[in-house]
Amino acid sequence: MNAPGLAGAGRVKADGPLKVAVPRGSLLGGTLDILDAVGIDTAAVRGESRALIFPGEDVTLVTMRPSDVPTYVEAGAADVGFTGKDVLLEQSDRVVYELLDLGYGRCRMVLAGRRGDTKLGEAERRLGMMRIATKYPRIAERHFEGTGRQVEVIEVKGSVELAPLIGLGEGIVDLVATGRTLEENDLEVREEIVECTARFVANRVAHKLRAAEVDDLTAKLREASGQ
Amino acid sequence: MIHPIPPGTRDVLPDEMRELRKLHLALIEVFEGFGYGEVATPAIEYDEVLARGDGRAAKSGYKFFDESGDLLALRSEMTVPIARLVSTRFADTEGPLRLCYLANAFRAVRPQRGQMREFAQVGVELIGAPAPEGTVEVIEVLGAALDAAGLDRAVIGLGDADLYRQLLTELGVEGERRDSILERLATHDLVGLETELSEVVSDRDCETCVALSQLRGGPEVLEQARGLGGAAVGRATQRIGETYEALAARGAADRVQIDLGLLRDLGYYSGAILEVYDPALGHVLGGGGRYDALMKRFGLDLPAAGFALYMERVHVAQMEEGQP
């Protein structure tokens, strides 16, 4: 069981519209499309507004970084939300209910190295370990641990493709949609770690106490996603 | 001068302390009214004794050696220490034993997650009363405690810890795969659950399991569950049904939500499991259930049940509900 949170953390107002966490960035389009498909008005979010919160009659849409979605949903600040499986895997200690695989936002978490470069294999053979730069340190650590290899994981925040090009590590673990960024930077996929898609998640208490609303939305999303 | 305290610990100042004290007294008064006597046990115990309860559940985050080289551990909850106390001090006592406590417990935390290393739990243990009467009594006491705290909207989730263990056995799922599926159920990872189940059982059985885990509500969900079929489901719904009916007969079923998706990750639970929610808070307020096999590990073969509430969370919920 999880250790309890700070006394003040995670206050939810139970009444009023369901609060839905919507990820900005690459998942935004797919998320708004599926919300439209289940009859939730997203015109305001699609507009030019810089607002973060878009109140509606039955649901309030709250926009945020995809990696913040599990944080808000776990605390109950949002009742349900959309985010990528990559985010959920990286934050696997967050207690959120993963209700649906929505199918869109498909991409792959991969291990990549410089094209034609033998450094990755060489480092493993000679030194017994590799240095891997990534924005997903926990996914990377788990992957190499699970395949019995030792690595030094180096966490970076920005463009991770840069790292092996100028000598920070021999390879990278990163999310790849089309593979173009890798290609343009002279990198190639060496191993596929996991395939990631958008997921629908719920706060544990909201799932119990707003069961009818959550179930209804889940059923509609399931149908709309065709999964 | 600033002198830091470890993350996940905190000071309590007079205003909050007054409110916590009031809440504590109100809860203990409820417990005493039902015949539960308050006990205290040491915060540090021998690691060996705590580990006897359940390796996973009572796993202590903090262990250290004492001056004579014995391994000591800070308790992470109160059920195991009370099982130890009962088997040592009350082994010959006739009839059900009723004990309650307010105690600080300690758990390891992950950094920057807002988790507490040290937290107060308040709860009861009823030892020697089998299901369903024992379970019914514990839920009744829990309901009265929530009333006393002024949490009129709080809900008690009632599920069955054996449901999926038995259902998976019935479907021929064993070993590591079974544990892994139970883990998916406990964390409510429905996507992973479907994927794993579809690899080992028929599509129909897979759908049944997933649908079952989504059933929560009034007594009508028992009917729906029976409709999904199977002996394990039949037995679990009968156990839950008996408990629920007995509660209804005592007028104590109003705040109970039957939840067939409830699974707690403390390994010692068997039969009924409980969780407490309040709409004002995004985290669970506490939980409990039956642990009929736990006392035997301490040499006393007695059925048992209980619950624990996180004191600070109950207090926050109280404030949010506007009744400090």
DSSP for chain A, please give it.
-PPPB-TTS-B---SSSEEEEEE-STTHHHHHHHHHHTT---HHHHSS---SEE--SSEEEEEE-GGGHHHHHHHTSSSEEEEEHHHHHHTTTS--EEEEE---S-EEEEEEEETT--HHHHHHHHHSEEEEEES-HHHHHHHHHHTT-EEEEEE-SS-TTHHHHTTS-SEEEEEESSSHHHHHTTEEEEEEEEEE-EEEEE-HHHHHHTHHHHHHHHHHHHHHHT-
Q: Are residues B33 and B170 in the same domain?
A: no
Pairing of strands B37-38, A53-54: unpaired
Look at residue A90 and tell me whether its pLDDT is greater than 80. Answer: yes
One domain, residues B3 and B124: yes
Q: Which amino acid is at B290?
A: R
Total length of chain A: 227
Task: Give the whole-number percent of chain B exceeding pLDDT 90.
Answer: 76
What pLDDT, on a 0 to 100 scale, did the predictor assign at position A7? 36
Q: Are B310 and B127 in contact (CB under 8 A)?
A: no
Nearest-5° Cα angle at B203, B197 to B205: 70
| Domain end marker among B200, B224, B256 | B256
CA angle A96, A91, B119 (to 5 degrees): 70
pLDDT at position B311 is 96
| B183 and B101 housed in the same domain | no
* Chain B residues closer than 8 Å to A206 by CB: 282
Calculate ∠ Cα B257-B260-B262, nearest 5°.
85
pLDDT at residue A124 greater than cutoff 80: no
Give the confidence band of B323 by pLDDT, cuts at 50, 70, 90: low
Q: How far, in whole angstroms, is CA B43 from its chain's centroid?
A: 20
Mean pLDDT (chain B) is 92
If one compares B174 and A14, the residue with the highest pLDDT of the two is: B174
Q: Does A150 or A193 have the greater pLDDT score?
A: A193
User: Which residues of chain B make contact with A93, given a CB cutoff of 8 A?
Assistant: 110, 113
- Taking Cα atoms as reference points, which of A148, A226, A92 lies closest to residue B187? A92
Q: Tell me the C-alpha distance between A66 and A162, whole Å.
A: 23
Q: Which of B256, B284, B313 is the last residue of a domain?
A: B256
Query: What is the rounded average pLDDT of the residues A85-104?
Result: 94
Let me know whether B39 and B88 are in one domain.
yes
Q: Is the pLDDT of residue B56 over 70?
A: no
Distance between CA atoms of A142 and A146, rounded to whole angstroms? Answer: 6
* pLDDT (0 to 100) of residue B67: 94
Q: What are phi and psi of B99, to 5 degrees?
A: -130, 150
Average pLDDT of chain A to the nearest whole number: 89
Instruction: Please report, rounded to a whole number, the percentage of residues in chain A having pLDDT higher than 90.
Output: 72
Residue B5: HSE in the Cβ half-sphere, 13 Å Cα cutoff: 8
Residues B112 and B237 in one domain: no
Can you give the pLDDT at residue A93?
Answer: 87
pLDDT digits (tens, 9 = 90+) for B138-159: 999 999 999 999 999 999 999 9
What DSSP character marks residue B16? Answer: H
Instruction: Report the residue from A1, A15, A100 with minimal CB separation from B265.
Output: A1
- Cβ contacts below 8 Å, chain A against chain B, sum to 110
Q: Residue B11: is it exposed, middle or buried by C-beta count within 10 angstroms (0-12/13-18/19+)? A: exposed
Which phi and psi angles does B95 have, rounded to 5°?
Answer: 75, 175
Nearest in space to A130 (alpha carbons), one of A116, A147, A115: A147
Same domain, B211 and B276: no
B14 with B102, same domain? yes
Cβ neighbours of residue A147 under 8 Å, at least 6 residues apart?
none
- Backbone Cα Rg of chain A: 20
Residue A195 has pLDDT above 90, yes or no: yes
Q: What is the pLDDT of residue A3?
A: 42
> Quick one: pLDDT band at residue A209, thresholds 50, 70, 90?
very high
CB A125 within 8 A of CB A150: no
Residue B295 has pLDDT above 90, yes or no: yes
Concatenated DSSP letters for A126-160?
Answer: HHSEEEEEES-HHHHHHHHHHTT-EEEEEE-SS-T
CATH of the domain at B127: 3.30.930.10
The per-residue pLDDT for range B207-239, each reduced to its tens digit, is: 989 999 999 999 999 999 999 878 889 999 999
Name which residue leads in pLDDT, B55 or B42. Answer: B42
Confidence band, pLDDT 50/70/90 cuts, at residue B321: confident
Cβ separation A1–B8 shorter than 8 A: no
Contact A4 B282 (CB under 8 A): no
Asked whether the predicted pLDDT for residue A168 surpasses 60, the reply is yes
**Does residue B171 share a domain with residue B52?**
no
Beta-carbon separation of B284 and A204 below 8 A: yes
Read off the pLDDT band of B78 (50, 70, 90). Answer: very high
Mean per-residue pLDDT, A165-169: 88
pLDDT at B266: 55
Nearest by CB: B119 against A4, A10, A13: A4
B146 and B251 part of one domain:
no
> Kindly report the CA angle at B278 between B280 and B225, in degrees rounded to 5?
135
The dihedral region occupied by B101, where left means phi > 0, alpha psi between -120 and 50, and beta the remainder, is beta
Shared domain for B237 and B125, answered yes or no, is: no
For residue B252, give both structure tokens. 């104590």
pLDDT of residue B111: 66
Residues B38 and B187 both lie in one domain: no
Total number of domains in chain B: 2
- Residue A183: CB partners within 8 Å, gap ≥ 6? none
Q: Do B127 and B189 reside in the same domain of the chain?
A: no
Q: What is the DSSP letter of B157?
A: E
Domains of chain A by range and CATH? 18-106+197-225 (3.40.190.10), 107-195 (3.40.190.10)
Q: Write out the residue range of the structural domain in which residue B171 sits.
A: 162-256
Lowest mean pLDDT among B21-35, B36-50, B166-180: B166-180
What is the model's pTM? 0.88
**What gap in Å lies between CA B65 and CA B67, rounded to an integer?**
7
For residue B6, what are the contacts with CB-CB under 8 A and spacing of at least 6?
B117
Q: Rounded to an integer, what is the distance from CA B27 to the centroid of its chain?
A: 17
Q: Which of B214, B237, B256 is the last residue of a domain?
A: B256
The average pLDDT across A200-227 equals 94
Residue A119: its pLDDT value, please? 73
Bridge-based pairing of strands A150-155 and A198-202 is: unpaired
pLDDT for residue B307 = 97
User: Residue B277's closest chain A neighbor by CA?
Assistant: A205
SS3 B128: coil
- Cβ atoms of B300 and B96 within 8 Å: the answer is no
Residue A98 is nearest to which of B8, B157, B190, comparing CB atoms? B190
pLDDT tens digits, A2-47: 444 433 334 444 568 999 999 999 999 999 999 999 999 999 999 9
Q: Quick one: closest CA in B to A203, which residue?
A: B282
Q: Show the tokens assigned to A143.
A: 């992957």
What residues of A are in contact with residue B13 (Cβ under 8 Å)? none
Q: Are strands B71-74 and B216-217 parallel, antiparallel or unpaired?
A: unpaired
